[in-house]
Every structure is written in C-alpha cells, then in structure tokens.
C-alpha cells in the first residue's frame, strides 16, 4: 500500500471513529457513557505517557501518581468552591513542575534505573494519599466533587459532561500534534533513536528528555483533574502502581511512539474489559498474554503491526519507529 493510500485509509478510520464518538453517547445507557468518558480521561493520561515513553524513550512508572496529584488538587479545591478552570490549570502546571523536579536528578541514570525510581515515587505518593488524612481524607476519600459549568451551562449530566471531556481530548490532541510536528518533535525523535548522534548535533538530550518527561507528567495531571469530576469521588485506590503499569501497557500495546497509539491502547485497556466483563479474570490474563505476544513478535504494538502489514516495502529500515533502546533501533540508525 502506498503512503497516499495509507493516508486515505487512516483518514477514513479517523472519520468513522469521530462519528462513533459523537453519536455513541445517545445510544448508550448511563453506565456505557461513563465507561466511554473513562476512556477519554485515560487516553489523555496515556498521551502524556506516550510523550515520555514513545517519543523520548523514557520508561516512567509514575504516571498514576501524576494523575492522582491532579485528581486530588481538583477534588480538594472544587469541593471548596474553586472554579474548575483554575484547578485544571493548577493541576497541569503543578504536575509539570513536580515532573521536572523528579526528572531533573532521575533522568541522569540509565533507563532501567529510571523505571525503579519512578516506581518508588509512585508508591511513595500513594502512601501519602492514603496516610495524610488531614489533606486527602485518606481511605475515606473526597466525595461530592462538583461538575463544572461552562458559560452558565451545567455539565452535571452524563452526556454534556462526556462532550466536555471529548472537547478536552480534541484540544489536547491538537496541541500534542503541534508539538510533535515542531522542531521539538524532531529533537525528541533524535533523542530517542540515537542520543549520541543527537548530542553531536547540538541537541541537549538532557533538556529535551526532561521536557518530555515533565510534559507527560503535566498531561497526567490534566487527566486527573478531569477524572475527579467524572467519578465525583476520589480515593487513593486508583492511583497505586497498578494504574501506572496499566498506562504503560496501554501505550505499548497501542503502539509506543505512534500518535494514535494511546487511543487504541486505552480502548484495549478500558473498553475491552467492560465488554468482556463476564470473563473478568480471564480478561486480565488474556490482556497480559497479548502484551507478551506483542513484545515477542511486534514490539511496536498494534499500530506498529498494522503499519508493518500495510507497508509495501518489507525492509527492516521501514517507517515504523523502533522501540527505544532496542538493537533494531541501533541497527536502523547505522
């Protein structure tokens, strides 16, 4: 399939998906709308992680902590009367700053160590959420989180709030697309593919990696600020290590480094288990098995698989971005 044919196919798929997303809530029951809304929120968090992992090549297991920080900021402030927009911006920027502060020392170590540092960070943050009752109400959680108002229109009901979330997803996607297409995006690719070469071209790998990490964290915070009014109840349980692992798997399964990878990954991680509800335990096992199979046969995820199938020239140096740090990436680079 030629590149232009691929573009037409991609456009067709996108249009179909957009139509589905716009129309679906009117065909679903409230619970279905809730699940779809959860998908939107998780996709935003996964987009953030995709920046960190897929574009900058850094393994972060702290994304759940950032989602949690964002959620608690939004929950704490909106239940005290702050308007949604200010908490949203505060959540995003706080997580950006925390991400920067964490990343500044942490990114000096090698990849596998970063995974452990972020794992430790996530667990620590979770412990704080659980134990510091004066701030977070501990295991009792923060309840009755209000839904925002936009220009006098209340977003309290499921369908309007869903569109509200969808609008955020569109905005964030547009901003991220702009980022990827800018010189920064090119620099991220360089840092991921070949940091040594990137350095020799004047690219400050440390600064770009830090930026990707902090931006990823900021997006996690935004996702959390949207999660709070969605569930209208925030407690520590969702923000444990499990969510970080889940987000990581989402990004990988969808296709790390592909723009729509997080969208697809979130479908597999959020929507699929709901449809397979009856087989809950088996679902998780199947999901885990899928991940392992993908890693063995197609580490570039589902979108990577599709890309490979559709690409006309089956060369090893094809258009698919090899997974960071792998011999395939090094082979492709030289």
For the beta carbon of residue 129, count every other beta carbon within 10 angstroms.
26
DSSP assigned state of 25: G
Q: Quote the CA–CA distance of 23 and 12 in Å, as a whole number.
A: 17
C-beta of 163 vs 184, nearer to other proteins: 184
In three-state secondary structure terms, 1 is coil
Segment contacting other proteins by CB under 8 A, of 8-16, 72-80, 175-183, 304-312: 175-183
Q: Does 277 bind other proteins (CB under 8 A)?
A: no
Segment contacting other proteins by CB under 8 A, of 24-32, 38-46, 75-83, 183-191: 183-191
Segment contacting other proteins by CB under 8 A, of 79-87, 177-185, 219-227, 267-275: 177-185
Q: Using CB under 8 A, which residues numbered 71 to 130 contact other proteins?
A: 105-106, 108-113, 115-117, 119-121, 123-124, 127, 130
Q: Using CB under 8 A, which residues numbered 236 to 275 contact other proteins?
A: 241, 245, 248-249, 252
Q: Quote the CA–CA distance of 251 and 232 in Å, as a whole number.
A: 26
Q: Quote the CA–CA distance of 90 and 99 in Å, as a whole number.
A: 14
Instruction: List the Cα angle 101/165/238 in 5-degree steps.
Output: 55
Q: Judged by CB under 8 A, which of 183, 277, 278, 314 binds other proteins?
A: 183
Q: Judged by CB under 8 A, which of 47, 69, 187, 306 binds other proteins?
A: 187
C-beta of 82 vs 259, nearer to other proteins: 259
Torsion sign, CA atoms 142, 144, 146, 147: positive
Q: Quote the CA–CA distance of 155 and 314 in Å, as a whole number.
A: 49
C-beta of 42 vs 155, nearer to other proteins: 42
Q: Using CB under 8 A, which residues numbered 288 to 327 contact other proteins?
A: 288-289, 291-292, 295-296, 299, 315, 317-321, 323-327
For the beta carbon of residue 91, count every other beta carbon within 10 angstroms.
30
């Amino acid at each position: 399939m030629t590149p232009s044919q691929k573009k037409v196919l991609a456009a067709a798929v996108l249009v179909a998906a957009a139509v589905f997303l716009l129309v679906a809530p009117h065909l679903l029951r409230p619970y279905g709308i809730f699940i779809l809304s959860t998908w939107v929120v998780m996709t935003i968090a996964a987009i953030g992680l995709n920046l960190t992992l897929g574009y900058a090549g850094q393994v972060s297991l702290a994304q759940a902590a950032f989602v949690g920080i964002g959620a608690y900021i939004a929950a704490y402030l909106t239940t005290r009367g702050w308007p949604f927009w200010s908490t949203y911006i505060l959540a995003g920027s706080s997580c950006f700053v925390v991400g920067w502060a964490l990343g500044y020392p942490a990114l000096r170590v090698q990849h596998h160590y970063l995974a452990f540092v972020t794992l430790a960070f996530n667990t620590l943050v979770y412990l704080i959420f659980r134990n510091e009752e004066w701030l977070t109400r501990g295991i009792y959680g923060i309840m009755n989180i209000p839904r925002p108002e936009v220009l006098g229109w209340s977003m309290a009901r499921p369908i309007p709030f869903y569109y509200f979330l969808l609008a955020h997803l569109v905005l964030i996607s547009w901003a991220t697309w702009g980022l990827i297409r800018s010189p920064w995006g090119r620099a991220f690719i360089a840092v991921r593919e070949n940091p040594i070469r990137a350095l020799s071209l004047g690219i400050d790998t440390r600064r770009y990696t830090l930026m990707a990490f902090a931006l990823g964290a900021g997006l996690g915070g935004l996702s959390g600020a949207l999660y709070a009014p969605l569930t209208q109840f925030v407690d520590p349980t969702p923000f444990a290590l499990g969510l970080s692992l889940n987000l990581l798997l989402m990004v990988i399964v969808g296709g790390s480094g592909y723009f729509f990878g997080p969208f697809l990954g979130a479908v597999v991680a959020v929507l699929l288990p709901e449809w397979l509800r009856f087989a809950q335990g088996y679902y998780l096992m199947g999901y885990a098995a899928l991940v392992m199979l993908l890693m063995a046969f197609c580490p570039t995820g589902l979108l990577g698989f599709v890309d490979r199938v559709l690409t006309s020239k089956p060369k090893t140096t094809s258009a698919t971005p090899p997974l960071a740090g792998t011999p395939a990436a090094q082979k492709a680079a030289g």
